[in-house]
Amino acid sequence: MAINLNTKSKRKNPTPRQLAINTSGIITFFVLLLLLILKLSGFLLLHWWIIFLLLILFFLILYFSIVEVLDRYIYRKIKLIYKVIRKAKMAPEEKAKMVDLDQDIIRQVEEEVGTWSDIQAKEIDELKKLEKYRRDFMGDISHELKTPIFNIQGYLHTLLDGGLEDQSINREYLKRAAKNADRLNNIVQDLESISLLESNTVELDKEVFDIRELVSSIFEEYYLQAKDKGIEIKFKNVVEKGFMVMADKEKIGQVVANLISNSIKYGKDSGLTQVGFYDMDKVVLVEVSDNGIGIGEEHLHRLFERFYRVDKSRARHEGGTGLGLAIVKHILEVHKQTINVRSSIDRGTTFGFTLDKA
């Protein structure tokens, strides 16, 4: 799509001054021939030196007139081009520099227009990408909101249409409606986090804390959920002292919580989730691994995209929206840290991220 004018312009154009010299030279040469013929045939009675002087004068006048015309003509045209392609207004001294008659101006302009059109093409591509992103995002959001809204509507209308008096369903339907309302709330909260993180306005509230302690408190939060599935959660390596890190504690808590919740949601019954810490000079590597269902290699590179789920039906059954890992990645990006994933189907998954040591 990018138009490249640069290749065409390799041939050398004469500079405006060379052009003026050449043209005046050629015209003067023909005038000289004419005068010679006139002189030799006796029509011209002037002395040789006067003829010579006149020719020099003629050459000079011609030369300066051509330079002047070219200067004005080129200046006008180039000014127009620059007006279109340059966003900033030019300073007067820059304008004066714009036309240097000793330079190959045409090639310079060609090159500048070429670069300009390349940049323009890139900007258009970028805008198209953003537009697609926005469209997809809107589509994904409405798709995700539809299910819980539809469910709530269904339960409430059934209750209104007489179900409320039916003791066998009334409490159950209200509970289900409430559960779907909770899910709606979760989605909206996740969306809020994402849009805040993507708007680059997030202020990190960094502090020094013990990452082992933080992980330990999140273990407790997920204790019941893990127990329901018979999954054991524990630290991998027995470290005497915890690692002190420098980060936004609450946000890193969110990261760990999502990784642990995933390891339970996508773990096998009676499985094992382990968290390990590895000292890597300036950073600590935190790894959350499970021996669950695993993720196929073809999905790994898209895992951190928002709304991306490997097995949509299972994820939805687990109440997943596919926003968790997108938020995780954003949070670590804001911390200028990295996250990676290794996984094999049926063997399990390991997510690892780094944190600056305090």
Ligand X SMILES: Nc1ncnc2c1ncn2[C@@H]1O[C@H](COP(=O)(O)OP(=O)(O)OP(=O)(O)O)[C@@H](O)[C@H]1O
- Decide whether 121 or 334 has the Cβ nearer to ligand X: 334
The CA distance from 291 to 99, in Å, is: 71
Closest CA to 330 of 351, 305, 357: 305
Q: 98 near 82, Cβ under 8 Å? A: yes
- Decide whether 9 or 258 has the Cβ nearer to Mg ion: 258
Q: Which stretch binds Mg ion (CB under 5 A): 14-22, 97-105, 213-221, 250-258?
A: 250-258
Q: How far is CA 84 from the centre of its chain?
A: 27
- Decide whether 144 or 248 has the Cβ nearer to ligand X: 144
- Decide whether 163 or 276 has the Cβ nearer to ligand X: 276
Please work out the total of residues on this chain that contact Mg ion, with binding judged by CB under 5 A: 3
Min CB(223)–ligand X separation in Å: 18
Residue 255 contact, options Mg ion, ligand X, none, Cβ 5-8 Å cut-off depending on partner type: none
- Decide whether 9 or 343 has the Cβ nearer to ligand X: 343
Q: 239 near 203, Cβ under 8 Å? A: no
Residue 148 contact, options ligand X, Mg ion, none, Cβ 5-8 Å cut-off depending on partner type: none
Closest CA to 314 of 298, 294, 297: 294
Q: Does 324 bind Mg ion (CB under 5 A)?
A: yes
CA end-to-end distance (rounded Å), the chain = 49
Q: 218 near 256, Cβ under 8 Å? A: yes
The CA distance from 66 to 85, in Å, is: 28
List of residues contacting ligand X (CB under 6 A): 190, 258, 262-263, 265-266, 290, 292-295, 303, 308-311, 315, 320-326, 349
Q: Does 273 bind Mg ion (CB under 5 A)?
A: no
Q: 101 near 68, Cβ under 8 Å? A: no
Residue 111 contact, options Mg ion, ligand X, none, Cβ 5-8 Å cut-off depending on partner type: none
DSSP string, 163-186: GGG-TTTHHHHHHHHHHHHHHHHH
Six token digits for residue 251: 């946000």
Q: Which stretch binds Mg ion (CB under 5 A): 6-14, 181-189, 246-254, 261-269?
A: 261-269
- Decide whether 271 or 324 has the Cβ nearer to Mg ion: 324
Q: Say which amino acid occupies 46.
A: L
Q: Does 262 bind Mg ion (CB under 5 A)?
A: yes
Min CB(182)–Mg ion separation in Å: 16
Binding site for Mg ion (CB under 5 A): 258, 262, 324
